[in-house]
Amino acid sequence: MRQIFYFAFFTLSTITIFAQSPGGVANAVLWLKGNTVVTPDTWTDYSGNSNDFTQPTTINQPVLASNVFNFNAALQFNGTSTFMTQPLPSAFPEADANRTIFVVANAGATSGYRWIFVYGSPGSGSSTCQMGNNAGGLSNAFYGPELNSTGYWDAAGNANGALASFTMATSLGTQYDRGNFLNQVTFVPQFATSVNGVIGALSSTPNEVWNGSIGEVIMFTSALVDADRNLVESYLALKYGFTLGTPGTPLDYKASDGTTIYWAGTDGTYQNDVFGIGTDIGTALSQSQSNSTNSGNGAGVGQNATGNLVLSVATPLTDLQFLMMGNDAGALSEHLIASGEAPLQAVGSQRLIRNWKVQNTGAVGAVDLSFDTTGLTLTGGSSLNNFRLMIDQDGDGDYFNTGTQSFVKPVSFTGNKMNFSGITLANNSVFTIITQAASTLPATWLGFTATLDRSAAVLNWKTGDEINVDHYTVEFSSNGVNFTFLGTVAAKNGSGVNTYSLRQENLPSGTRYYRIKRVDKNGTVVMSDIKSVRAGSLSTVILKSNPILKGRIELNIDVPQNQNAVIRVVSLSGKVLVQQQAGLAGGSNAINTNVSHIAAGTYFLQVQLNNEIINKKFVKL
C-alpha cells in the first residue's frame, strides 16, 4: 500500500505536537528556552499559554548568542537598555497564590537591583513578583518584601551559570540552588496581578536592567513538591551541565516519565562535576554534547587546571537514552601505579589520582570524549603513545583484583585537548587516565570495527607490539550488557601491527553488540570497546534528495505494519526545529515535510517509530 501525506508546519489539522512540559511536570504557565530563540525580537513560550515575550525596538533587543550554557544558546542583556515584555500575560499567579519559578542565568555587573523576571505593577508596595539580583544576592521580591541570599551571583561557582528556583507555598517563600536549600522567609500578603510581564528589567522604562545571560525561565502555578521540583531540576541540570545536590546530600537525576533514574545519587562519592548527554522527548530535551559548568564553559573550553571533559555523540540519542558521569574529587596529580594496583602491563605507568564513574541508561553506544590538560603537569607531554583511558568494567574502582580492565588510546590532540573517539562506556564503569604509559603497556588496540555484510557481522581489529598475548575471545550481545561467547582467535604476538578478523553469519533483525577480550599468557584480561551492527532493519527511511533544494523534505518510510511516526528536524546542537506526527500504513509511505522556514545548513532528520529511531543527516541549501 502506498500513501502520500503532505505536511505544512503551520497547519494545525495535520500536525500533532507532543504534550511536552519542563521535566514532565504539569501546570507550567511560562516556559522560555534560549535554545529555541530564532531572532531576539521574540521569545516564544512553550508552556502552551502563549505568553510570548517580545521586543520590536532593535536597540532594546538582547543579543542572541550561541554556546553560552553547555553548548546551548541564550539571550544576553546589557545592563542598561535591553529587555522584553508581555503586557498581558495569561494566568500568572496573583496575590498570595502558590507558584514555583526556575531560572538559568549568569550575571556580569551585580551592583544594585537587576531583574531576570518581573510581573505586576512596580511602584506600589507588594504589587509585583520579581526574581533577580540585589547587590550580588539572589533576590525574590514583591516590590518591598524580599528574600535575598547574599553573594549568590558573585560566587565563583556561578560564574559560568546558575540554576536557581523559588517556591511560594501559602506565603512561605523558599529559594534553592541546584536542588540545595538556600533561604526561606514568610511574606506578608501580596497583591501582584497577571499584568506587565518583563524579562531582563523591572519595567519597560527600562530600569534595574539585568547584566548577563538568561538561558531559561519557567513558572508553575503551584508550589512544587520536592519530587516534582527534582524532575524539573534534573532536566535543567542535564541540559546546562549543573551538578545537583552535594557529595554529602546527593540527588538523583530523573527523566520526565518520573521513573527512569539516569544518575543515582545514592552514593555521593561521584557527585562532583556531574554532566552528560541524553534525549527525553517528554521534556523536549536532546543534549548531544556536554561538559560540566564547574570545569568548562558554554563552548566546552576547559577552565585552568580543572581537567574538563567534553562528551559528545555524532547523532542524537533515542528517547530515554542517557550517558552521565561524575568524579570522586580526586586530585588531578599523578600517581605511579604499583604492583597490585592495576594489570601487570600497566604497572610502572603514571595515572591521575581522580576517577570518573559512568551511568549508561538505554544502552548508549559509541561516544567521543575529550580531556583538557590546560594547567596540568603531566609526564606524558603531548605524545599520544603516552596516554590511555584505563577502564574498570565492573565499576568498583578496583583496577586489579576484580572485574576486567580495558585500555583506550587517544586518537589526537587538538591544542591542549586529548581526544578519544568511538569509545563505549558501560553502565557503572569507572575510568581514570594514564598519563605516562609504561613500556609494558603497548598500544594494544589500534582499531576495532564491526560492519554488516548482508546478514553477517564482520569484525576486524588491529593491535600493536603484542607482548605475551595468548588469545582473543570474541563475545556478542543483543542488549550491550549481557554477552555470550562467539569464538576464539589465537594471538600472533608480532611486533608492529597485527590484524585479525572474525564473522558471525545469519544475524537476526535488530542491533547486535560485540566486544573482544585480550587474554595474556599470565591470565590478565583486557577488554576492547563495544561495537555494534544493525541487521534487517525493521523499517527504512529514504531521502529522495539530499541536499534539499525546494524547501521541503521528500522521503519514503517503509514499515512492516500500521503505526504512528514522529518526524523531527534537529539542529547539530540538538535543538528540535520541526516536530510532527503521522499515521503510517504497512508498506511504503511518501511524506513531504516543510522546512522552508529553516536557514541553510546541515541538520538531522529523526524518524521515531514504534521500536526504533532512525537518523539521517541532510543539507538544506
pLDDT at 226 over 70: yes
The secondary element (H helix, E strand) that includes residue 617 is strand 613-620
User: What's the pLDDT score for residue 4?
Assistant: 38
User: What's the pLDDT score for residue 537?
Assistant: 57
For residue range 105-114, what is the model confidence (pLDDT) as tens digits?
A: 999 999 999 9
Domain count, the chain: 4
Within-domain flag for 545: yes
In DSSP notation, 304-339 reads TTS--EEEE-SSPPPTTEEEEEEE----SSEEEPPT
As a whole-number percent, the residues of the chain with pLDDT over 90 amount to 62
User: What's the pLDDT score for residue 115?
Assistant: 98
Q: 618, 602 in Cβ contact below 8 A?
A: yes
**Alpha helices, DSSP H only, in 322-480?**
none
Task: For residue 582, give its domain range.
Answer: 540-620
Average pLDDT for 198-221? 97
Q: What mean pLDDT is reported for the chain? A: 89
Question: Model's pTM, two decimal places?
Answer: 0.76
Same domain, 453 and 556: no
Same domain, 426 and 504: no
Same domain, 603 and 588: yes
Within-domain flag for 3: no
Distance of CA 16 to the CA centre of its chain: 26
Same domain, 602 and 512: no
Picking from 436, 464, 480, the residue at the C-terminal end of a domain is 436
Question: 518 is written with which cell numbers?
Answer: 585480550
- Using CA atoms, how far residue 12 sits from 54, 105, 420, 590, in Å, is 23, 34, 45, 20
CATH number where 516 lies: 2.60.40.10
Average pLDDT for 328-350? 92
Same domain, 465 and 517: yes
Within-domain flag for 9: no
Same domain, 173 and 273: no
Picking from 409, 436, 463, the residue at the C-terminal end of a domain is 436
For residue range 409-419, what is the model confidence (pLDDT) as tens digits?
A: 898 999 999 99
Same domain, 292 and 363: yes
Same domain, 512 and 589: no
CATH number where 207 lies: 2.60.120.200
Within-domain flag for 320: yes
Same domain, 65 and 155: yes
For residue range 356-403, what is the model confidence (pLDDT) as tens digits?
A: 999 999 989 889 999 999 999 999 998 888 999 999 988 888 888 777
